[in-house]
Amino acid sequence: MAKVEIYTGMMCGFCSRALRLLDSKNVQYEQIDVSLSSELRAQMRSRAGGKTSVPQIFIDGDHIGGCRELYALETAGHLDGLLAA
């Protein structure tokens, strides 16, 4: 199973939606809440090419993007392959 990391924030609907999709696939992931940590937010921004919005999702260290990109992978039928790698 692939290593999945998701940077999230409190009260973020897009974060909740992305987590629901991962949960529906029984994916284990590391959730990193950046709400109260400028250090974690800076780490996320650095890894995500300067993006500051949450969620920011990584699969096996590769930046996938946010919720919209995660769902686009699912719709295109590519997400399961990435998660199984």
Give Cβ neighbours of residue 66 (< 8 Å, ≥ 6 apart).
Answer: 14, 18, 51, 53, 54, 55, 56, 57
Domain that holds residue 73: 4-84
Verdict on whether the full-model pTM lies above 0.75: yes
Q: In the chain, how many domains are there?
A: 1
pLDDT score for 85: 79
CATH number of the domain enclosing 24: 3.40.30.10
Alpha-carbon distance of 64 to 76, in angstroms, equals 14
| HSE-CB for 18 with a 13 A CA cutoff | 27
58 membership: H or E segment, kind and range: strand 56-59
pLDDT of the chain, 85 residues: tens digit per residue: 899 999 999 999 999 999 999 999 999 999 999 999 999 999 999 999 999 999 999 999 999 999 999 999 999 999 999 999 7
Alpha-carbon distance of 65 to 57, in angstroms, equals 5
